């Protein structure tokens, strides 16, 4: 490793203090360090913060095809899975290139208006189509590979990757998918019909939605909680797997299921304790 970019949560004192110390350590080893920006010549990116901070730079890491190491200084930490206690050993493994990569599927989200593509976004977790502030039910006609699926009625629709299945998708009652799968999950938000349930599609599927807001209501597109777009009548939103993968550096001590147990409060004992009833 010759060049590393360090990204921290903006206006947060602790990550900046740790970033400053880490930068001095790396510089003493002869490594060029760029702080608060991703340099195109970087060999790796280190994120100090929470999942939101990592999501902020995931698209750049994907486009540059460079590994990303997330050090969790936030709350949940599904993506920034390396703890502060593990940071020194994880950074040493990074410098020696003795690490394991987790390759995560990302999505391309394209907005088509009047027959032209007017916007294209990258997402690691999900794309969300949701209603505006007035509380009216919206309808989202949805196709998969040009075949009509459903006209989802409710507060909106989440189109999630396996990585994002433990984010908004899980909160809305969607299934948890192992992050190494290639799939798309369609999860309705507060659906009007009880039979409108989450649907898992193949990762190579192309999902298309058509925008028809009710009078006086807005429909918005939100990607990874980072990018917000207000959509117009007749817009078509296309969501499909992005080329390549995001390369996340795995925790040196904990596997995916250990992290799930920690974050979701699952049992750690493989043999359940049986209590005698009175």
Catalytic residue IDs: 51
Residues 110 and 174: their CA atoms lie apart, in Å, by 23
Which residues touch 14 (CB under 8 Å, ≥6 apart)?
Answer: 73
From residue 23, how far is each of 18, 34, 70 by CA, in Å? 8, 8, 15
Handedness of CA 265, 268, 272, 276 (dihedral sign): negative
Which token pair is 249?
């550096």
- Residue 55's beta-bridge partner residues? none
- Residue 129's beta-bridge partner residues? 157, 221
Q: What is the DSSP string of 19-51?
A: HHHHHHHHHHTT-EEEESS--TT-SEEEEEE-H
Q: What is the DSSP string of 207-269?
A: EEEE--PPTT--EEEEETTTEEEE--TT-EEEEEEPSS-EEEEPPSS--HHHHHHHHHT----
- Residue 218's beta-bridge partner residues? none
Residues 221 and 113: their CA atoms lie apart, in Å, by 14
């Amino acid at each position: 490793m010759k060049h590393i970019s360090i990204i921290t949560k903006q206006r947060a004192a602790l990550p900046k203090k740790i970033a400053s110390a880490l930068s001095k350590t790396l510089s003493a080893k002869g490594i060029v360090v760029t702080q608060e920006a991703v340099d195109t010549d970087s060999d790796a990116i280190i994120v100090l913060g929470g999942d939101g901070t990592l999501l902020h730079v995931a698209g750049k890491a994907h486009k540059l095809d460079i590994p990303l190491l997330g050090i969790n200084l936030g709350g949940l930490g599904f993506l920034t899975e390396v703890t502060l206690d593990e940071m020194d050993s994880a950074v040493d493994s990074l410098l020696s290139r003795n690490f394991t990569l987790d390759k995560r599927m990302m999505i391309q989200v394209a907005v088509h208006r009047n027959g032209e593509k007017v916007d294209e976004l990258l997402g690691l977790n999900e794309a969300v189509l949701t209603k505006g502030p007035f509380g009216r039910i919206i309808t989202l006609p949805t196709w998969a590979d040009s075949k009509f699926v459903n006209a989802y009625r409710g507060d909106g629709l989440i189109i999630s990757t396996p990585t994002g299945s433990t984010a908004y998708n899980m909160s809305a009652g969607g299934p948890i998918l192992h992050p190494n799968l290639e799939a798309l999950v369609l999860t309705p938000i507060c659906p009007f019909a009880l039979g409108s349930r989450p649907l898992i599609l193949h990762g190579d599927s192309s999902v298309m939605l058509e925008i028809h807001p009710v009078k006086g209501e807005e429909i918005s597109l939100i990607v990874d909680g980072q990018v917000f777009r207000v959509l117009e009548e007749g817009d078509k939103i296309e969501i499909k797997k992005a080329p390549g993968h995001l390369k996340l550096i795995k925790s040196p001590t904990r596997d995916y299921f250990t992290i799930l147990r920690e974050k979701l409060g699952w049992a750690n004992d493989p043999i359940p304790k049986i209590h005698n009833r009175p």
